[in-house]
Chain A
Amino acid sequence: MAQDDIAASGIVGTSRRDLGGRPWHRWRRTIALGVVLVGLVGIVLAALAREALLPRSALTVAVPPNPFAPPRPALTQAEEAYARGLWKIHDDVKLSAVRMTFAGLAYKTGEIDRTTLKARVDAARDVYARAEIRARELEPPQSLRRVHADYLAAIRLYRQSAVEMAKLAADGREQHLLAAYPLSETASKKLLEVGDALWPGEYVPN
């Protein structure tokens, strides 16, 4: 076919235009967009199907559990409820214990005077008093009676320590801090022992 005939038949023109008269390059763009969209939908569907078909363990266990941690008998429902209840109290007790320690430190390093020391120690003592009331409201199962008693003893020791530290405000004698120290030290040891029984993950390697 001669070039003129081709031009006359309109083939050249038709090959570059859509049936509605739209330019061919616009069709090409639409088709490409469609292919991309179909591809994306396909990928999403394939991913969903894979998620649905994979066994749950493969999805949830990326790292196997620590092989060195010996199995620990599960707490009973009552023990767990007690541990959960005490944990909230423990939060306040621990925070006050370290704040009280820092009050002593700040006094010894000359950052605060004895009036401020007393204010901080009294605040801690109030927390201990409230914590003791809350702890007494818990009903430990028989298996955790000793733990419960230890925790109450720890709170009482912290309170006694606070009372002793606060005496410094009256007479300025640092002997009170020395007398208070073993009380709160023993209390802190008891907290760790209770943690042994109730919260084995309380501290992680760091």
Chain B
Amino acid sequence: MNKVVRSVLLFALLALMVSTGLPSTPAQSADMQYSVWLIESSRFMGVPAGAFMPDRAFVPGSSNKMNNKPFFDLPVNIGVIKGGRDIVLYDTGWKQQDYHKMTGTQHWAPIAQQLAQLGIKPEDVTKLVIGHGHWDHAGQLMDFPNAVLYVQKAELEGIEWALNYPNPHIRAVNTDPGGCARTPACGYPPLTLQEIYGKVLSGKAVIVDGDMEIAPGLIIHPAFRAHTAGSQLLEVHTAIGPLVFGSDSYSSWEGIRDWMIANPQQTDTVQQFLAYEKCYKITGGYEHCVAAHEPLSYSEGYPLTRNSWVGPNGSRAAEIVLAPGERSRKP
């Protein structure tokens, strides 16, 4: 009898050891290291400084460096993340339209060309994480036929809420004069939403509700209302420590560093600051926060992105970190 009890206890102990010894998700996350690049989908030229960062609005004649620039040139950055079996894009940029050329946008090149400089084909991309659904961040989704889209449920709910709001100013998709700006349904052209729907329709979408680890060491964190209703961040584990991509919740890296809001669209500024804090907490500072529109991108002024080069049509690219064994793509 004692022998039987001893055997059962031994088996239970072994089972416990095996179960606790199995590589859990956090352990896998800690082990996994990704290679990360940043590519410039395009660059908005001559955006009024105050429209981008209210605290840095241009004051004619001011010698204060915070207020003496009338315009910013804003890159539209896409994160390219490679590791394990995955090639993940964080945001997908947008497709050039004639009217974008008319507004002076520069550096745009087809996404396939921009990825080719990293040795990646659109069909190799396995996952698309959009920081939010605006046209300049969620365009071109259907150019990645094999990729699964990750979008926050709250983002879709937020748009739908706005579309059905009784007040026409709040549900507006066209606003006079001069088109959409900061109303909650603006920034989502029919084609962009159509492409999100296309991914859902083809069974290649995950509607995320809050946090989600989409692969070992790749963790989505919600940043509700930090730019739009369902904005989301992406934590990426790398050899230099975790990075956090923030899309337009992190429009300006200087804004994160200096605690200034940027690109307030459907933004709750408190939530944007909390999203900044999230990066400080995860990475231990502001250096590893990856911004979507930082004017200093691809320069010494934004050290994380300084290892850069010029790609198709003058667009910039940066090699942020390589996983062990990964070769450099910098020409």
Contact = CB atoms under 8 A, between A and B. Distances in A.
Contacts of B104: 66-70
Interface stretch (A42-50, A132-140, A189-197): A189-197
B134 A206 contact: yes
Chain B CB count within 10 A is highest, among A87, A178, A189, A192, for A192
A10 interface: no
Contacts of B319: none
B136 A185 contact: no
Given A105-B197, A188-B194, A202 B185 contact: no
A19 interface: no
B58 interface: yes
A205 B60 contact: no
Contacts of A191: 189-191
B201 interface: yes
- Kindly state the interface size class of chain B when it binds its partner: 35 or more
B170 interface: no
Interface residues of A, number: 46
B45 A66 contact: yes
A206 B136 contact: yes
Contacts of A70: 102, 104
Contact of B46 (A66, A97, A106): A66
Given A95-B173, A98-B188, A200-B102, A105 B58 contact: no
Contacts, number: 144
Contacts of A178: 201
Contact of B174 (A63, A66, A94): A94
A8 B278 CA distance: 83
Interface in A161-206: 177-178, 181, 184-185, 187-189, 191-193, 195-197, 199-206
B282 interface: no
Contacts of A177: 201
Contacts of B193: 98, 101-102
29 contacts: A62-B60, A64-B70, A66-B45, A66-B47, A67-B104, A69-B45, A94-B189, A95-B173, A98-B188, A99-B164, A101-B197, A102-B156, A102-B160, A105-B156, A105-B196, A108-B200, A188-B189, A188-B191, A189-B191, A192-B97, A192-B191, A193-B97, A196-B99, A201-B103, A201-B178, A203-B179, A204-B180, A206-B182, A206-B186
